[in-house]
Structure 1
Amino acid sequence: MDLGLVVEFISEHGYLALFSSFYVCLLGLPIPNEILVMTGGIISTMDHFQPLLTFFIVYLTVILNATILYLVGRKGGNRLLQKLERFKKINRNVQGASIYIQKYGGYAAALSYGLPIMRHCIPFLMGTYQYSYLSFARFSYLSALVWTSVLFLIGRYFGSKIESIGENLHQIGGAVLILLLGVFFTKVLKRYFRQKNLNF
């Protein structure tokens, strides 16, 4: 999707377009979330957009997206996971997020914003695993506030460079995720072979 078209649409139609466009894009359209939130910072520099209100709307779309994923997981997560099992890539991402939650508990919601894909999977799985809403919201909303604030300010003051900055942040987040999964699976394999040796 051409991000320029999104900005043009928002600039012509105002705050309602800002909210609806950002919410739809955050659902999973092929625009890195980092670049999208930084674009909110650029939009806040336009004459007819008030910075604080623009930030609030961008932040609202971020936490609303996470909250709906949490609620979907809470109401029908297990059924949905059964249907998604045949999709290997999705199943692999779900397993990674599940490992992350088992290791960090509620803190996984806070840490997930720095990790692509995990920021979508973890709220859904926290709902599926029946974490309380207060536990989810306490970690998720505060972390979202920090994450959104940093990216929004980068977009506002370094707007001309957001594409390269966003891509780098996206790649770094992916590299961190791969590293964490690698460490976990290494521990699992070591434990497996240690137990196997004990059985002989």
Structure 2
Amino acid sequence: MTIEQTVLELLSVYGYIALFLSLVLGIVGLPIPDEVIMTYVGFLVSQGTMKFSAALFTAFAGSVVGMTISYSLGRYFGFPLIRRFGKHIGIKEAHWQKVQTWYEKFGPFVLMIGYFLPGIRHLTAFSAGTSRMRVISFGMYAYTGGFIWALTFISLGRVLGEHWNLLFVYLHRYGVWILPPLLLLFLGIFLVYRRKKKLS
């Protein structure tokens, strides 16, 4: 049984507790398919097994706790922790360098974009910690992004219903066409924010 199958089975049995713990662990760095989990939760909502508001709150809480733990690990242990243990959870130094480059270009807005990039989201929070980003700034970007991320995938699963897993078939086939518009949307919001900040 794969990790994905195990987690989905746990979700069916333990519901909100399994959702919360799986997102915390997945964001901290364990190889758990967070988007698959939340889309499946959306399917359970469509079946009446889970409630939308409770599922959204639980997913948001899981993302907040996971990102906060990752931020704290970066703040107190820094890059040596990634260098020592990163290879065991699939984190390469190239991933780390990519995140650093994005921070130089887009600043804390990367915390919001990173949620939609598997294998990157936990590094964005970790990097924010190593750079000593202010806790208030971190929370504003990371927690807002977490809410949007959870709302997006749970809603998609709810709309797709029994066909919830088709989302990942299409992402696999057409991700090169779907993901860029999403990232451009976030970039547009970021540029408007920066412009308003300069004018104020």
What TM bracket, shorter-length normalisation?
0.7 to 0.9
Matched residues, number? 176
36 and 142 in structure 1: CA distance in 2 versus 1, 3 angstrom threshold: same
14 and 106 in structure 1: CA distance in 2 versus 1, 3 angstrom threshold: closer
The residue aligned with 2:127 is 125
166 and 65 in structure 1: CA distance in 2 versus 1, 3 angstrom threshold: farther
- The 5 A counterparts of 1:5-84 are 5-83=6-84
| 8 A Cα contact 2:8 2:37, kept in partner | no
Partner Cα separation in structure 2 for residue 61 and residue 109 of structure 1? 16
The residue aligned with 1:113 is 115
TM-score, reference length from structure 2: 0.73
Taking only aligned residues, the RMSD between alpha carbons, in angstroms, comes to: 3.0
5+ long unaligned stretches in structure 1: 177-200
Alignment deviations for residues 20-63 of structure 1 (CA, whole Å, 9 cap, x no partner): 23433444454433222212212223445222111110121122
TM-score, reference length from structure 1: 0.73
**How far apart are 1:65 and its partner, in Å?**
1.2
1:149 equivalent in alignment to 2:151:
yes
Q: In terms of Rg, which structure is larger?
A: 1
168 and 136 in structure 1: CA distance in 2 versus 1, 3 angstrom threshold: farther
SS at match of 2:46: coil
| 8 A Cα contact 1:10 1:21, kept in partner | no
Partner Cα separation in structure 1 for residue 107 and residue 76 of structure 2? 20
5+ long unaligned stretches in structure 2: 181-200
Partner Cα separation in structure 1 for residue 118 and residue 3 of structure 2? 20
